[in-house]
Amino acid sequence: MSKNRKITLIFGGFVTAVAAAFYPIFFYPFTHKDEYREVQKVNRAGIKQDDVQPAGLKVWSDPFKSSDK
């Protein structure tokens, strides 16, 4: 196997590994916003944000809320 082919396979493997790592972290949640909204509704039910927010910080807002709706 030539040196260039080995370098190409190593680089391609690295790019594939990075892409595989980013899919569940970034792309899946980005493409399944409704599912994550429902999960957060259940997880945050009964929590009063003012009681758990540290003093001086902005109260949490919905990161999934978009202006396109």
Residue-wise burial string across 14-34, b where 16 or more C-beta atoms lie within 10 A, e elsewhere: eeeeeeeeeeeeeeeeeeeee
- Secondary structure letter of residue 47 according to DSSP: -
How long is the chain?
Answer: 69
pTM over 0.85: no
Q: Can you give the pLDDT at residue 7? A: 95
pLDDT digits (tens, 9 = 90+) for 14-50: 999 999 999 998 888 889 989 988 988 898 888 887 7
Residue-level pLDDT at 15? 97
The C-alpha atoms of residue 39 and residue 61 are separated, in whole angstroms, by 15
Token digits for 32?
């399944």
State yes or no: pLDDT of 69 exceeds 60: no
CA distance 65 to 49: 17
